[in-house]
Structure 1
Amino acid sequence: MQPAYIHFTLLAVSITILMAQLTVRNKHNAHILFAIFCASVSMVALQKLSSNSLGPYQYLIGMGACATCNCIWLLSRTLFRKKNPIGLIHFAVAFTIAALIMIQQGYLFATHQWALDAPWMSIFSHMMREATILLSSCILVLSFWEAIRGFEQAKRQDKQQRILFMITFGSAVLASKSAKGVFADNPEMLAVTISIITLCVLASLQYLLYWRFHRAVNADTVLLHQAQNSKPSEPTIRDDEMRLAGQIQSLLVDQTYFLQANLKVADIARELEVPEYKISKVLRNQLQAKNFNQFINTLRVEHAKGMLADPDKQHWSVLVIGLECGFASVGPFTRAFKTYTGTTPNQYRQRSLPAQHCA
């Protein structure tokens, strides 16, 4: 088995899967995170292929391999957490690990390029390496925990997907640790084994994303075709729609799902285990909404009005309130707010707070 062949296969597969994520029409955060992971894996493979020809410059390529276990942790949260899966603190932790990896690779480049050999540099390198190993190990455990967390309350298909994730990463970690012991004296064979394990992880994650997002869309298409061919009685249809409308309102309002960023019809359909077209139909017929986004923005704007008029939150910026209400940035928040109220968030706050002080 030629090591270069395996590394080249890993490079080709990771780039192919990366491009596949970019072609997904209805992207979720999971697709973006998986694309970043694939890009990082391709840098790992490229570094191994170029180690003999580029010399110290291989470590500059290695700087790009900084989004592996940390990106998988963010991906696991996106897949298995319903509310607020990723926040600033999570990005900060992931960025810290990425920065440590880049610093290590930069240190290796500097020492090999300029033959630096200061005593303090070896101590610094050791501390960076130990910190990276510690944080990476914790992140791997947290990734596994995300699949375990809420397992009992998950629905049948969600449980199956969690099991696939746990088997994939449990097997990958066990196999890689075993390989480091078996091939301790053969680094070339160890690198080949790690590349093969990584290929298996890529294939498993790609299938998991397809299963979680795209197979559900295909199932919706089949169910829609069946619904069009069958003709149930009008009272039955009306009762089913009213029941589903209650479930949608309970999920969005009572459980505050409308505050989740990047919320899509597919997320609600998956949670309630019904086709997407039924959600859209009920929103139009029972909840008098033009579409899903309009309904969600109405809930978010009403929530924002309460926050803007709250004296205890007057020090909160408009951006922070928009983010808290589920908007991706201040621009969409301001446009939606003005569409439904006729004023900007700042104007609404200026009118509301003085009125409360006078009272």
Structure 2
Amino acid sequence: MTAAVHSLDLALRSGAGLLLLLIGGLMLRDHGRATAARLGAAFAVGGAVFAITSSAGFSRPPQGWDIPLMALATGNNVVFWLFARALFDDGFRLKPLHGGLWATMVGLPVLCALVLHPARWPTQNGIDDFLTVAALGFAVLATAQTIGSYRDDLVEPRRRVRVLIVAASAGFIALTALSNLMGAQEARPALASLVGGAGLAAIALGVAWALLGVAGGRALFPQAAPARPTAEPEPLDPALIAALDRAMQTDRAYRQEALTIGALAHRLGAPEHRLRKAINQGLGFRNFNAYLNSFRIAEAMAALADPAQADVPVLTIALDAGFNSLGPFNRAFRAATETTPTAYRRQALSAGDEPPVSGSAGRIPNSA
């Protein structure tokens, strides 16, 4: 019985690992310029490594050649969190802090294997528990990112597919971490390994099916686009686009604090799914907040460049444009203009530039 369980576990893990490596290669081949795709490929490779290191036959503690594999599998929890962030935020950028988190999660297992375990230091068990809890924490963060930004996503295929991918992966990581904390791996290692192998295989099959189901994953990742569009995208619903244009340019609905796509759809008397499609496929935006911020930033740029408003505080301009605080405004402004609001105002006023016109003429291009 044990031999049969071991053989089935090995077959499941081998298949899952090969499929994950194939998925990672396809992501790099077809979408290698997208941060989310690169992180997804790294997560797929880490998942294949995890398929090896989490099996019952893998030596614990690791010794020699298997130490780097165990370290990469541990660091994959950070990669998964970053992958979820990039997948749900087209403007996400990797920062040195992210690299530091990954290096910490990779370095601690190496420290345990090379130093603490041979010396029998009492802190090793504490570090092992910390790594397990950290894996659970990153899974929770990824899930929170999934839930928190779901409503603002305008790409309907991506809304359906990526929730399944992230939820399944986060659930697997969380269950694995909890089982480790409860000692299931030590109590019945063969059975626990088989269940883990089956979970990995199911996730790999689900991800592969999802990618095939959205035309090779094109809806999941932002496509390369020119800095400024050469022509207006063709509207899918002229009447709805016209009503949306009036609401934004004439009524300045974007100034409403915490405006949601559901509230805007209700205001326009249109189904939410039609409004999503109009903004996404008709105007080329992948995220509702990015669409709102295009108007808000354009209005703020006009106010900052207006000599008559030179004494108006930046915070007042940000609040008038629809931002609820200075921090999100500064981040959005810098992302759109690559400078700070204060520096932009100083440069515009010193150059004597005419303030840009808000609305469609002054709309910030959608970089997603």
Tell me the TM-score range normalised by the shorter chain: 0.5 to 0.7
State whether residues 32 and 38 of structure 2, in contact with CA within 8 Å, keep that contact through their aligned partners in structure 1. no
Q: Are positions 1:131 and 2:124 aligned together?
A: no
Structure 2: stretches of 5+ with no match in the other structure: 1-6, 221-235, 259-272, 315-327, 353-368
Q: 2:199 aligns with which of 186, 192, 197?
A: 197
State whether structure 2 residue 141 is matched by structure 1 residue 142. yes
SS of 1:56's equivalent in the other structure is: coil
- Decide whether the 8 Å contact of 2:211 with 2:217 is kept in 1: no
Q: Does the 8 Å CA contact 1:14/1:38 hold for their aligned counterparts?
A: yes
How many Å apart are 1:102 and its aligned residue?
A: 1.7
Give the direction of change, closer, same or farther, for the CA distance of 1:42–1:255 in structure 2 (3 Å limit). farther
**Secondary structure of 1:107's partner?**
helix
SS in 1 for 2:338: helix
Q: Structure 1 residues 276, 138: closer, same or farther in 2, change over 3 A?
A: closer
Q: How does 1:56-71 map to 2 (within 5 A)?
A: 56-71=64-79
| Alignment partner of 1:41 is 2:47 | yes
How far apart are residue 58 of structure 1 and its match?
Answer: 0.9
Please report how far the alpha carbon of residue 172 of structure 1 lies from its aligned counterpart in structure 2 after TM superposition: 6.5
Q: TM-score, normalised by structure 1?
A: 0.55
CA shift at 1:194, angstroms?
A: 1.9
Shift of 1:302: 6.4
Compared CA separation, residues 65 and 246, structure 1 to 2 (3 A): farther
- The answer to whether the 8 Å contact 1:57/1:109 transfers is no
Give distance in 2, aligned partners of 1:307 and 1:350. Answer: 8
Alignment of 1:205-284 (within 5 A): 205-208=207-210, 238-246=238-246, 253-254=254-255, 272-274=276-278, 276-279=280-283
Deviations 1:316-347 (A, max 9, x none): xxxx998542538xxx837xx9xxxxxx9597
> Contact 2:71–2:109 at 8 Å: present in 1 too?
yes
After TM superposition, the structure 1 = structure 2 runs for residues 182-193 of structure 1, keeping only pairs within 5 Å, are: 184-193=186-195
Write the distance in 2 (CA, Å) between the matches of 1:252 and 1:36.
41
Q: Distance in 2 between matches of 1:64 and 1:141?
A: 20
* Offset at residue 200 of structure 1 (A): 1.9
Give distance in 1, aligned partners of 2:108 and 2:125: 9
Going from structure 1 to structure 2, the CA distance change for 1:95 and 1:198 (only over 3 Å counts) comes to: farther
Say whether the 8 Å CA contact 1:63–1:102 is kept in structure 2.
Answer: yes
SS of 2:278 mapped into structure 1: coil
- What is the percentage of aligned positions where both structures have the same residue? 11
Q: Which residue of 2 aligns with 1:266?
A: none
C-alpha distance in 2, partners of 1:217/1:150?
16
Higher relative contact order (CA 8 A, sep 6+): 2
- The number of residues matched between the two structures is 287
Q: 1:18 to 1:237 in 2, by over 3 A?
A: closer
Offset at residue 17 of structure 1 (A)? 0.7
Specify the alignment match of 1:105 in structure 2. 109
Deviation of 1:109 after TM superposition, in Å, equals: 3.9
Deviations 1:56-92 (A, max 9, x none): 121023222244333333344455579x77786xx84
Work out the CA distance in 2 between the residues paired with 1:26 and 1:167: 24
Root-mean-square deviation (CA, aligned residues, Å) is 5.5
How far apart in 2 are the matches of 1:216 and 1:63?
32
Taking the aligned partners of 2:69 and 2:252, their CA distance within structure 1 comes to 46
Distance in 2 separating the partners of 1:153 and 1:301: 20
Question: As a proportion of its length, which structure holds more helix?
Answer: 1
Deviations 1:16-70 (A, max 9, x none): 1111211334965543332221122133245579967x94121023222244333
**Structure 2: distance between partners of 1:184 and 1:106:** 21
